């Protein structure tokens, strides 16, 4: 590994959640205004993820604000990003959702994925077939 690879490896963030196309996310970005610093939140739909999963990877986030579509491209491993939260997950069948740009809000609705919690230490009921075989 050369020095550039070592530096890039050190700059990668490990605290990021899984971000996929179709997820609605909330990006907390540090904004510097003069000598003050604040955090600005941008919530929208991930319509594209580019340049792989390495240090150069970016995501394109889109939201509609005041009737106008607003898109921002964020470098995922940027130090100006405080954190990224996943708000909702939608089922999509394409890796780039550029067709969403042409759709109205009603037409652009996506099917949501429901996360079902896994029950731990729950006894599984045995099937009737297994009980009948064991009794014989």
Domain 3-111, CATH: 2.30.30.790
What value does the mean pLDDT take over residues 85-103? 91
* Cα–Cα distance measured from residue 98 to residue 110, given in angstroms and rounded to the nearest whole number: 14
The pLDDT score that the predictor gives to residue 2 is 93
Nearest in space to 103 (alpha carbons), one of 20, 19, 41, 45: 45
Q: What is the CA radius of gyration of the chain?
A: 22
The pLDDT score that the predictor gives to residue 113 is 81
Residue 1 banded pLDDT, cuts 50, 70, 90: confident
Q: Please state the domain extents for the chain.
A: 3-111
Residue 63 in this model has a pLDDT that exceeds 60:
yes
What average pLDDT does the chain have?
85
């Amino acid at each position: 590994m050369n020095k550039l690879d070592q530096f890039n490896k050190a700059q990668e963030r490990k605290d990021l959640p899984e971000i996929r196309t179709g997820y609605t996310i909330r990006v907390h970005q540090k904004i510097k205004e003069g000598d003050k610093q604040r955090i600005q939140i941008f919530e929208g739909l991930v319509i594209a993820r580019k340049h792989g999963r390495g240090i150069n990877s970016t995501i394109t986030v889109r939201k509609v604000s005041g009737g106008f579509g607003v898109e921002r491209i964020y470098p995922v491993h940027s130090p100006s990003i405080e954190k990224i939260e996943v708000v909702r997950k939608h089922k999509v069948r394409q890796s780039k959702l550029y067709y969403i740009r042409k759709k109205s809000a009603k037409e652009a609705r996506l099917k949501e994925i429901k996360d079902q919690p896994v029950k731990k230490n729950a006894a599984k009921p045995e099937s009737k077939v297994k009980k009948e075989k064991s009794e014989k």
